[in-house]
Structures are given as C-alpha cells and as structure tokens.
Amino acid sequence: MVQSSSAKRILVVGMADSIHLARWLMQFKDKGYLFRLVSSSPHRRIHPLIKGMLAEGKANGIEISIPWVSAKLSLPLWQIDRFTGNLLRGLLVRNEISKFKPDLVHALELQNAGYSTAVAYRGLAKHKRPKLLITNYGSEIVWFRKLPAHLKKLKELMGLADAFSAECGRDARLAREIGFAGQVMETIPVSGGVKLDSSLLVDQELDQRRKTIVIKGYQNVWGQAIVALRAIESLADELSNYRIELFSCNQKTIQAASELRKKTNLEVITHKKHSLSHVQVLEIMKGSLAYIGLSTSDGISTSMIEAMSQGAIPIQSNTSCGNEWLTNGEDGFLVEYQDWEAVAKHLLFVLNNPSFVAKARTKNYQTIRERYDSDRLSEIANGYYEKLLG
C-alpha cells in the first residue's frame, strides 16, 4: 500500500481522458509512488479508470490527485493556449512543481503535455528543475518534425529532458537526430500490455466463429477508415457471411459505413469513440478473422498489436512502425495507407488461406508473449522510475 509520507513524488502531465495514460498509471499499483496529474488535453471528461483511481485513493494501491483547475477547466485552458503558446498550462505545471515538489516530472505525449512542460521549465531556475522524462505518443516526432514551428518546440523540449521513452525504435533514433542527448529508456508500448490467453491458438470452435472483420474507425487527417471501407465494398460478395465492425468511429466514418450498408446489404456495425471499454474492444477482436488499421502517420498502432494478441490477422498501413512487430506477408500485411486495392487483395488472401492464418496467428502469439505481456511491461515501466529516481 502507498505510504504518502515516504513516497517518491511524480508529477504526471498528460491527457486525462486517455486510455493510454490510464493504463500506464495502472501499472504502478502498490509501488509506493505518489502521483499528481496535470491534464494537458481539452478533455470533457476524465477517463473512467483515472476517475476511479482519484476516487479510491490509497484503497486500490495507487495514490493520485489532480488540481481542481486541471480537472474542471482543462478545455478552456487548452482553447486559450492555442493563442498563448501553451502559457496557461505551462504556468499550471510550474505552479504544481513549486507546490508538489516532485522528484520526477513525466510528460506523456509531446505536443500538449511536452510543450506545456517546456514552458514551465523555461521559467524555473536550473537547480529547481526536477528530472524530466518525456514519452512520445504515436507519430508526434515522425510527423511534426516536418513542420518548422513544431520542430523548434521539439528541439527545445529535447534539450530540457533528462530521459526519453517511445513505443518505436524509430522514434528514439529521431529524438537523437533532433538533439536529445539524455537517457533513452527501453522501447515499450505505453498502453501496459495484455494478459494472454493461449487457448486462442487451439480453440477450433472459436476459429469457426471468427466471422468479423474489425476496422479502426478514425477518419480525419491521420485516420483513413474510409479507405478500408472501399476495400470492403469491393469484396462484398466474398464477405456476405461476415460482420464488418468499426470502433472509435467519428461522424464521417459512421456516414460512410451507413452508405456501404445500403449499397451492399452487408452487416456493418459502428461504435463511436469512447463508446466501448477496452475489454469490449478486445472481445470484438477475439471474434475477428482480420483487423484493418490505416493512417497517414502512426506510432506503434496499439490497436494492431492488441488485434494480434486476440488472434486477428493485421492489415496495417506502413506509415506506422508495424514493421518492428511483424514481417510483411508472414504474420500480417503492411500496405500504403491509401491503397484500398492492396487491402482488398490481402484480406481476400486471409479469407481463403486458413493454413496461413494458423501459422500467422501462432507467430503473432509468440511476439505478443515476448513483447506485450502486461506483467513484463509493468516490470519495465517500473524500471523507468527506479532508474531515474535512484
């Protein structure tokens, strides 16, 4: 159980509505840390898992608190900071450093949390700056380093940070290229891993029930779910006995899915962003033959590796660092994000080649067991803080 009087203090700056941040924090139950969370995102709600940790306090083995301003006014602060260069959230972080006196500051995500933290550190004397760990999410470096205004901010942040962590080896290399000279932590997913179920490999009855194609439902600057739907439309006859299920959908995807349903009479189900729990998403993946995730830029693609963990064969855009997790054509497929014909070709191959599916699923299970097991990742994540806090 956490002992507040002797606990090491960690100020976390991150997105309070994020499942990734929630699952990161869950790894530190009963580890003796005292957390203070400053929200960096324009959240309209605190994620239920974080809310539970805030409400239960010491009872669930992790002690965490959040400033009232951060909990209640995160959206207006973020809106104003669009015009003030992250000034308000930076002042909030600096104020919490002065009051909370953390042993370590951890900014999880760079564009909101990292930039705000940089503003805070800019106004602190060097001897009053606690150690700073920054964690890259998604494609924050690979995408935003191309934009001069962001590159300048990233370089400043890299110069302030003592340690850097990322989900992709690619991003650790890029951090070095833009000036990071501190300690690079072991590359692991930020989402905390899963408990593996080996029965997924041998359950033939489950294999017969895998009649779903699951799709990541983002459609925006990055997410390209409509490209996936174009591939599905081209295979309407072959998929007549399958359900098409999309999660984390926005309105553009929901509209496109409705049109596909009318054109093809396929069973197409959509779930809005935040409408499903993490457990529910995993359950959909467990009943899926294949997973499709397409984006113009990405990091590890947590959805892809979680689909792999549940036995679904991934078809993922090569703009992610999916190549660090699978070998194209052996245990899944990597495609150009706009190439719906390639998506259709590989999906048809999966539909018609059960022996490939069985081999790919076995190989993916071994990969996930070695690299995404929740107990192993929790041990490594705790090692981050142990190393930095001594």
Q: What share of the chain in percent tops pLDDT 70? A: 95
Q: Which of 112, 152, 149 is nearest to 134 (CA)?
A: 112
- Inter-residue contact 59 to 1 (CB < 8 Å): no
What pLDDT score does 202 carry? 56
Residue 56 has pLDDT above 80, yes or no: no
Confidence band for 61, pLDDT divided at 50, 70 and 90: confident
What pLDDT score does 225 carry? 96
What pLDDT score does 204 carry? 55
pLDDT in tens, 356-382: 999 999 999 999 999 999 999 999 999
pLDDT in tens, 244-266: 999 999 999 999 999 999 999 99
For 324, which DSSP code? G
What pLDDT score does 127 carry? 87
What pLDDT score does 44 carry? 74
Residue 289 has pLDDT above 60, yes or no: yes
Angle value at C-alpha 383, between 379 and 385, nearest 5 degrees: 130
pLDDT in tens, 63-79: 899 999 988 888 899 89
Q: What is the DSSP string of 107-150?
A: EESIIIIIHHHHHHHHTS-GGGPPEEEEE--TTHHHHHTTSHHH
Average pLDDT value over all residues in the chain: 91
pLDDT in tens, 323-339: 999 999 999 999 999 99
What pLDDT score does 58 carry? 67
pLDDT mean over 291-301: 91
Q: Which of 155, 191, 182, 188 is nearest to 169 (CA)?
A: 188
Residue 343 has pLDDT above 50, yes or no: yes
Distance from the Cα of residue 146 to its chain's centroid: 21
pLDDT mean over 33-43: 91
pLDDT mean over 107-114: 95
CA distances to 212, 249, 280, 315, 365 from 275, rounded to whole Å, are 19, 9, 10, 24, 28
Residue 138 has pLDDT above 70, yes or no: yes
Residue 206 has pLDDT above 90, yes or no: no
What pLDDT score does 200 carry? 67
Confidence band for 5, pLDDT divided at 50, 70 and 90: low
- Inter-residue contact 101 to 124 (CB < 8 Å): no
Higher model confidence: residue 96 or residue 191? Answer: 96
Residue 243 has pLDDT above 90, yes or no: yes
Contacts of 188 (CB under 8 A, 6+ apart): 165, 167, 371, 377, 380, 381
Tell me the sheet residues that pair with 269. Answer: 245
Residue 301 has pLDDT above 80, yes or no: yes
Q: Which domains does the chain have, with CATH numbers?
A: 8-192+373-389 (3.40.50.2000), 199-371 (3.40.50.2000)
Show the DSSP H helices in the chain as ranges. Answer: 19-26, 48-56, 68-72, 74-84, 87-100, 115-122, 140-144, 148-160, 169-177, 199-202, 204-209, 225-234, 251-264, 278-286, 302-309, 340-352, 354-371, 374-389
